[in-house]
Structure 1
């Protein structure tokens, strides 16, 4: 396994150097990130023990507007994803998935899309294999954390036959995005409701059918900072574990924001109690992020919170609540960050009636510290404690320790 990783990384690095050697290739943006996540469950859960999790992201964006001197932005984005397949969940027994790079062992094309922007990027149209969570239901301070529920809400992530179009399997669709006025961004996406093949989690199969239906997602983001400007992009790449992707940086704002979003599947779903199929598999969510400057050096403390609900007759979780804070540069001289957060997934009424446990919520607490020692090398120790894992009374609360080790190369 380690020889394969080393050979892959050397090959990627060689390709990157070749791309960098020719300064005329500004039309090509390239990045490769290898994330290793050794994980130890010290107590509780299903069993104590160690597991090794890893993730390789190789992305490239071709800017056709640079090649053909076009006035409007036209790009092709390709994202290759590889996973070793270690699972912290097998040790901890949690439902929310403690590691956001946990996936079955596979190499796949995760995203492949064209995007055309108009009117100085105020209107954007995208089509292809698309990671919904790259733009929808994102609170920027939450991207520091490793638990999956801080990337996308637990009630949203559970939805669909094979999950929505998010890591590690995306689906085919279109996404529209526009700014309304100076502070409000509106997004709408229509995607194949079934990502890949539910019977083969290594597959990125595309199969469109009326029976499987579509996932319709919408979101409105309102930027409330008094100094917000659409032309001011604040890109801090020091602590993003799964969103370190070329092609995303122009959408990242380190500013106060309110998110209001919702999702709906057009197909029928089996009800939780096994009765007649149900229509209306849907949910809504609300999120907020707030940045408080600490000094003139752009240091800050950021708070975030999110609450979402889902149809409890179809989905296990009827609602989910999360929140936390992140502080930048707590140690002078380093571009480091630390954060503390929690996420609670609450069983819906229908699931609670079926399960034998009296517990109705799983809550995870996470403390993490991100330390970039170089532009290409990051260390991030992480501690997670889960209360009522999978709301099973027979499982003790697990306490786990992990260390994210991340290498990156890029020609940006």
Structure 2
């Protein structure tokens, strides 16, 4: 499918959705964002080398009448494999590292109550757009600062493969928000990863559930969540199947400095912890966090600089299965986003990975990177 065809389909999905809102004219916002990463594994890891990866996002957000809205999102990935071929890390250096293909990533409708206290969303949904969202961590290239690897390793409905699901959101009090989601147990179609519509409903897929509570306060928030799968999963020790493929996470964000509540300028920090079942998953526990300074230079409020760390500990059953005494993998990242103008930025990035994939025989990797992002927006 060509890029033009993909964009036309995105527009068509949003236009069809407008029928749910009555006969009044709907508002549709179109976005196109091209993200390109130039990465070089300068030393260590599996081998030295460079790779260019690109990701094109085409989306249409529809706002209708009667408290309905919808969203359609097409992904075009040029191909990934940097971590697999060069740095050798398990957590993944770049959050756009994905198999090549053009895919319908999201297509959903949402109904919101007149009071705005609750909403229900159904369709193809990016779970990480609602659950385990790390606002301050969005600056960084490293995938663990988008969603924790303790959770992402299980294959939920996240980039680049989404699943059919339904999500409920309830504003319980002015500061407490509760969310719950139920998804198909297998995201995308594993046998056909390049399919445009990757939906495969199998009898043995089971379901994937996730719940989250978010408590907001004047300078930040605290989130706690839990997730699980209903289908049986193989135990790493080869002793059979288990229905205990579950985990939990917690994260907190705090604004240390915010001179103007109406501006994004300031210094924010976050911390996230997560745990999965070590008898089933490779990564047992994860802890990560960092600090981001937005608008560090006067007159450049869209610039941002940050330092982050991501540490993944591998479980004993996984290490035993490999026959290797694994060490924790720790990734350090220093990044600066320079906004040239609205919708156009360049971002130099440095990452240092200790014990890639936990292998004591693999040298620490030093990765130099540059991200270019170009975005266009239109309204109808």
TM over 0.5: yes
Is residue 161 of structure 2 the alignment partner of residue 197 of structure 1? no
Is 2:330–2:353's contact at 8 Å kept on the other side of the alignment? yes
2:32 & 2:329 partners in 1: Cα distance? 35
1:296 & 1:196 partners in 2: Cα distance? 43
* Structure 2 counterpart of 1:340: 307
2:345 & 2:245 partners in 1: Cα distance? 40
Point out the more displaced range, 323-332 or 167-176.
Answer: 323-332
1:275 & 1:285 partners in 2: Cα distance? 27
Report SS of the residue matched to 2:233.
coil
Is 2:327–2:360's contact at 8 Å kept on the other side of the alignment? no
2:221 & 2:102 partners in 1: Cα distance? 35
When the two structures are aligned, how many residues end up with a matched partner? 360
1:109 & 1:197 partners in 2: Cα distance? 12
* Structure 1 counterpart of 2:34: 34
2:277 & 2:203 partners in 1: Cα distance? 22
2:116 & 2:226 partners in 1: Cα distance? 24
The structure 1 residue matched to 2:286, chosen from 303, 307, 320, is: 320
2:75 & 2:118 partners in 1: Cα distance? 28
Report SS of the residue matched to 1:411.
strand
The structure 2 residue matched to 1:305, chosen from 271, 293, 315, is: 271
Do the aligned partners of residues 112 and 210 (structure 1) sit closer, same or farther apart at CA in structure 2, a change above 3 Å counting? Answer: same
Report SS of the residue matched to 1:405.
strand
Q: Counterparts in 2 of 1:12-411, with a 5 A limit?
A: 27-65=27-65, 70=66, 73-89=67-83, 90-159=85-154, 163-203=155-195, 204-225=197-218, 255-296=219-260, 298=263, 299-334=265-300, 335-411=302-378
2:238 & 2:325 partners in 1: Cα distance? 21
TM-score w.r.t. length of structure 2: 0.90
Report SS of the residue matched to 1:175.
strand
**1:329-366 Cα distance to aligned partner (Å, 9 max, x none):** 11222121101000111011211222333233111001
Report SS of the residue matched to 1:91.
helix
**1:219-267 Cα distance to aligned partner (Å, 9 max, x none):** 0000021xxxxxxxxxxxxxxxxxxxxxxxxxxxxx5010000101001
2:49 & 2:25 partners in 1: Cα distance? 47
1:294 & 1:197 partners in 2: Cα distance? 44
> How far did residue 402 of structure 1 move?
1.0
Is 1:47–1:91's contact at 8 Å kept on the other side of the alignment? yes
Q: Could you say what the CA RMSD is over the residues aligned between the two structures, in angstroms?
A: 2.1
Report SS of the residue matched to 1:401.
strand
> How far did residue 8 of structure 1 move?
9.5
Do the aligned partners of residues 105 and 25 (structure 1) sit closer, same or farther apart at CA in structure 2, a change above 3 Å counting? Answer: farther
Do the aligned partners of residues 353 and 86 (structure 1) sit closer, same or farther apart at CA in structure 2, a change above 3 Å counting? Answer: closer
Is 1:306–1:323's contact at 8 Å kept on the other side of the alignment? yes
Q: Which has the higher strand share?
A: 2
Is 2:25–2:64's contact at 8 Å kept on the other side of the alignment? no
Is 2:48–2:86's contact at 8 Å kept on the other side of the alignment? yes
Report SS of the residue matched to 1:45.
coil
Report SS of the residue matched to 2:128.
helix
TM-score w.r.t. length of structure 1: 0.83
**1:83-142 Cα distance to aligned partner (Å, 9 max, x none):** 100322111001001100011110010001111101332211000000000110012101
> How far did residue 25 of structure 1 move?
7.0
> How far did residue 210 of structure 1 move?
4.1
Report SS of the residue matched to 1:395.
coil
